[in-house]
């Protein structure tokens, strides 16, 4: 597909940028993607970016934890995706197709946890893997703020595509932000319920005792039936306020289904040949005062148990990277990553993409590292699946009573110049009409107690409910 890029003069604000694009001479032609971009003088915040999405039936949002990138997208000009068996070839083709595109051209989406997806159920509109280019987007990076519109000329009716982009521009320009309303929970249902959870945990413990499996992460889904359908962007806005140091994301491929969250963990970042990943394991609460906070951080850094747990994850990620990348480097010692309510041990890792040129010179050279190979190597992590990974994943597919879909899966973007960024989509929720589903999991090892693990997940889901809704934990957050 041919790309046409038009960059217009700087606009003083977002409204002026939208007007400039609407007044531009847009065109659509078969096999051509047109991007019209307007730099904007004024900056845009996370809350303003999310507010820009209110009312749109199809939308996406991404803000990284470093504050380096924010993109709010309305509509879809183009998307790629399909069934699980097409994921690897499709992702690599997508990365190759964007290799010469500008860095700001990005498709947002994710790949489901287990790779496959049934044709029915809550995740059917997300595909086994799916990435979409916004029709209209508001963005901010290190170079500034911009507004852009895309027209993907279809073979059958390029003028219709042009009309859809103009309609999206008009809708965004005339949109009024929604007023947040309290959520009224009518009913809550857990999958699995307590009795089935207890049986599953006991079965897991038997498996741990009789097989090489050493850990399995069993998840729960709490479905909260609401009096009215919530606006996913409003829920994300509340959540984003509580977790400013997290990856904040929203994927809404249709009016009736949206997935959003605020995750602390990066799975994979790509910038040309540069690869980044990390280990995030070992946790303490935040302190009530600065002195308390520092003491808890020091206790975390000096804890033999937490350091050993963290070192095991570091070794696993580094070993995995070495299979699909070259020149793997690991920070000498972990640091403390502070979030709103907790702090974690954090070790960043860097590597270089491997290529076929590495093979003649290195014994047991890593496989060439395209996007698909890297994602396959790193996902799922032991923190959301278990160990050994293949055995844990097989056990979960057989015993978890719901589709994880994008929960704990790779969610992020693929962009021009061989760039990408993915988070592990924990601390997340799914909106299906008037139903809000909240997810959390428990890492089961030898000696785990079913009742204690149930209570721990109850606590985490209640905290997630409070963060997402801004309401007390006992209104829909508890069973």
- What are the catalytic residues? 215, 265
Give whole-number Cα distances, 366 to 101, 369, 421, in Å: 27, 8, 21
Helix (H, G, I), strand (E, B) or coil at 190: strand
Whole-number Å distance between alpha carbons of 75 and 152: 12
Which H or E run includes 64? none
The distance from CA 132 to its chain's CA centroid, rounded to whole angstroms, is 14
Sequence-distant (≥ 6) Cβ neighbours of residue 104 within 8 angstroms: 37, 139, 141, 146, 148, 415, 416
Whole-number Å distance between alpha carbons of 237 and 216: 33
Q: Which of 210, 201, 198, 73 is nearest to 140 (CA)?
A: 73
Whole-number Å distance between alpha carbons of 253 and 126: 7
Q: What's the full length of the chain, in residues?
A: 479
Asked if residues 282 and 307 have their Cβ atoms less than 8 Å apart, the reply is yes
């Amino acid at each position: 597909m041919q790309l046409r890029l038009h960059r217009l003069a700087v606009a003083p604000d977002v409204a002026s940028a939208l007007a400039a694009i609407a007044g531009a001479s847009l065109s659509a032609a078969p096999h051509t993607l047109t991007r019209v971009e307007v730099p904007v003088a004024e900056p845009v915040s996370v809350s303003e970016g999310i507010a820009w999405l209110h009312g749109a039936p199809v939308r996406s949002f991404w803000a990284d934890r470093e504050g380096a990138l924010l993109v709010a997208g309305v509509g879809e000009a183009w998307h790629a995706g399909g069934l699980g068996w097409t994921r690897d070839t499709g992702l690599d083709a997508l990365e190759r197709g964007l290799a010469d595109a500008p860095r700001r051209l990005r498709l947002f989406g994710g790949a489901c946890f287990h790779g496959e997806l049934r044709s029915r159920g809550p995740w059917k509109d997300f595909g086994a893997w799916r990435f979409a280019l916004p029709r209209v987007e508001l963005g901010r990076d290190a170079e500034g703020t911009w507004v852009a519109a895309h027209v993907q000329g279809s073979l059958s009716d390029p003028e219709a595509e042009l009309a859809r982009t103009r309609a999206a521009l008009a809708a965004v320009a005339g949109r009024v932000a929604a007023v947040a309303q309290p959520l009224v929970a009518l009913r809550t249902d857990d999958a699995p319920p307590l009795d089935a959870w207890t049986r599953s945990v006991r079965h897991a413990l038997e498996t741990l005792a009789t097989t090489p499996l050493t850990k399995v992460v069993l998840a729960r889904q709490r479905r909260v039936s609401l009096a009215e359908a919530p606006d996913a962007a409003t829920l994300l806005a509340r959540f984003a306020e509580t977790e400013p140091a997290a990856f904040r994301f929203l994927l809404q491929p249709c009016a009736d289904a949206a997935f959003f969250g605020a995750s602390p963990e990066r799975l994979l970042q790509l910038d040309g040949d540069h690869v980044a990943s990390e280990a995030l394991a070992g946790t303490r609460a935040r302190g009530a005062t600065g002195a308390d906070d520092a003491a808890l951080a020091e206790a975390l850094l000096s804890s033999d148990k937490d350091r050993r747990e963290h070192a095991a994850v570091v070794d696993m990620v580094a070993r995995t990277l070495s299979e699909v990348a070259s020149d793997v480097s690991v920070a000498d010692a972990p640091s403390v990553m502070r979030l709103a309510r907790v702090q974690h041990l954090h070790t960043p890792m860097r590597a270089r993409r491997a290529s076929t040129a590495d093979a003649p010179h290195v014994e047991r050279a890593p496989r060439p590292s395209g996007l698909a190979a890297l994602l396959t190597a790193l996902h799922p992590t032991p923190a959301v699946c278990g160990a050994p990974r293949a055995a844990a994943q097989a056990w979960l597919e057989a015993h978890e009573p719901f589709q994880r879909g994008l929960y704990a899966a790779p969610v992020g973007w693929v962009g021009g110049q061989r760039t990408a960024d993915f988070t592990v989509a924990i601390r997340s929720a799914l909106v299906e009409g008037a139903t809000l589903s909240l997810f959390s999991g428990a890492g089961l090892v030898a000696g785990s107690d079913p009742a204690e693990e149930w209570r721990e997940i109850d606590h985490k889901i209640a905290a997630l409910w409070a963060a997402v809704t801004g309401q007390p934990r006992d209104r829909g957050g508890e069973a």
